[in-house]
């Protein structure tokens, strides 16, 4: 078989309005639309997607186990997949974990298995779209409480009537704002209501809390009080795959009953090996986690010194408020011309009139790249009125 050369794939790639073309690994920089560009729009928080040891682990697993899983994960899994579940659960401080094909699949699996008709799910207004979809699929009643508001959640619980409050679900780190949910108060409310607290920690695992142990650790909450979902596609190496992690009882319930786990192809061995290598790199304490946060502090301090008002956040996610969508897109285009990629978030991702650029500084950036990028951002905001 003749492999397709990179140049050929670039030549045949269809053009899509508003979609940039990437022709390199996404690290601190990437080749975007043919030009070297500083990357401030990547979920590769720790820079491990381009780490040679992570890539080599995936290659070795590919040689040993092949491309696909070859078998339904209910029946058999490789040692690397089992090791990933064990070591992830240990890192998060819970009893067990279960791999899914994605975090969206994990959310759907949790919501449809642990809640159903006649029961109640209480969901934060700013939760990820996959949570919203999972609530709909569950056929349970869903009450939406105000963004990150324990008071609103408490009021919603009071209106439940004779419905059992099965689940309270929230993002751990909200992807548009970068802030952490008030998990201590939410856990107390969940326990009082007899509900399971579910936290989608896709932007928290590997990113916040001591050594990247996630949003519960960042809030000082015992992780045993929470059922987590999350992804490996962000901080933990970038490979596709998701997980649910919590008590052994709940995870076993999912293993036996979650349709998005049972009736689909699971996370492949090569992806699991990459995620396991990334998790081990994070836990070794050799630098990417501390570098991520020092880079985020430098990024924000330089923008604040230039006059931008930015909210404090324990995560690297840095929303750059604009308001008008047209102006936000002009700023994005100007930055791209200057070799800096910061994506636009506009309706329907955010409310009309609340457009912003969302910057995500990573551990892979150098100080010089951060200095150049922040100067370019300040100039673009000033120049695009």
Q: Is 242 exposed, middle or buried (0-12, 13-18, 19+ CB in 10 A)?
A: buried
Q: Is 113 exposed, middle or buried (0-12, 13-18, 19+ CB in 10 A)?
A: buried
Over the Cα atoms of the chain, what is R_g? 21
| Active-site pick, 130, 175, 233, 362 | 175
Q: Does the active-site annotation cover 203?
A: yes
Q: Which residues pair with 117 in a beta bridge?
A: none
CA atoms 319, 182, 289, 303: torsion sign: positive
**Percent helix, strand, coil in the chain (nearest 5)?**
45, 15, 40
CA 143 to CA 157: how far, in whole Å?
A: 9
Q: Does the active-site annotation cover 362?
A: no
- Name the strand (E) or helix (H) holding 224: none
Q: Check if the beta carbon of residue 245 is closer than 8 Å to that of residue 96.
A: yes
| Active-site pick, 27, 91, 128, 234 | 234
| Active-site pick, 91, 128, 203, 332 | 203
Q: Does the active-site annotation cover 234?
A: yes
Q: Check if the beta carbon of residue 128 is closer than 8 Å to that of residue 110.
A: no
Q: Check if the beta carbon of residue 25 is closer than 8 Å to that of residue 50.
A: yes
Q: Measured in whole angstroms, how far is the alpha carbon of residue 305 from the centre of its chain?
A: 29
Kind of pairing between the strands at 119-124 and 164-171: parallel
The catalytic residue positions are: 175, 203, 234
């Amino acid at each position: 078989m003749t492999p397709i050369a990179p140049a050929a794939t670039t030549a045949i790639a269809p053009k899509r309005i508003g979609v940039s073309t990437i022709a390199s690994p996404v690290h601190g920089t990437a080749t975007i639309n043919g030009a070297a560009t500083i990357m401030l729009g990547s979920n590769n928080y720790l820079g491990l997607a381009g780490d040679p040891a992570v890539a080599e682990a995936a290659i070795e697993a590919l040689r040993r186990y092949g491309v696909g899983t070859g078998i339904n994960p209910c029946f058999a899994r490789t040692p690397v997949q089992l090791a990933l579940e064990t070591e992830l659960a240990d890192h998060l401080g819970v009893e067990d974990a279960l791999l899914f094909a994605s975090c969206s699949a994990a959310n759907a699996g949790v919501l449809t298995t642990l809640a159903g008709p006649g029961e109640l799910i209480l969901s934060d207004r700013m939760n990820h779209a996959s949570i919203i979809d999972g609530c709909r699929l569950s056929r349970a009643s869903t009450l939406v409480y105000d963004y990150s508001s324990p008071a609103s959640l408490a009021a919603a619980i009071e209106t439940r009537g004779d419905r059992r409050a099965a689940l309270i679900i929230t993002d751990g780190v909200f992807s548009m704002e970068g802030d952490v949910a008030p998990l201590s108060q939410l856990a107390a409310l969940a326990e009082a209501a007899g509900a399971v607290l579910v936290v989608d920690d896709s932007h928290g695992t590997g990113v916040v809390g001591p050594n990247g142990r996630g949003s519960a650790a960042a809030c000082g909450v015992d992780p045993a009080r929470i059922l987590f979902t999350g992804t490996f596609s962000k901080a933990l190496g970038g490979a596709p795959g998701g997980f649910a992690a919590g008590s052994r009882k709940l995870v076993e319930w999912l293993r036996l009953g979650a349709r998005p786990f049972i009736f689909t192809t699971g996370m492949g061995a090569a992806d699991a090996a990459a995620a396991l290598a990334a998790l081990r790199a994070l836990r070794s304490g050799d630098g990417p986690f501390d570098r991520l946060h020092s880079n985020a502090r430098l990024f924000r301090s330089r923008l604040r010194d230039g006059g931008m008002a930015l909210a404090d956040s324990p995560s690297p996610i840095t929303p750059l408020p604009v308001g008008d969508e047209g102006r936000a897109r002009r700023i994005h285009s100007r930055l791209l011309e200057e070799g800096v990629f910061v994506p636009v978030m506009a309706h329907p991702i955010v409310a009309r009139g609340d457009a912003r650029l969302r910057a995500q500084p990573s551990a892979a950036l150098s100080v010089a790249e951060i200095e150049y990028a922040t100067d370019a951002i300040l100039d673009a905001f000033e120049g695009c009125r």
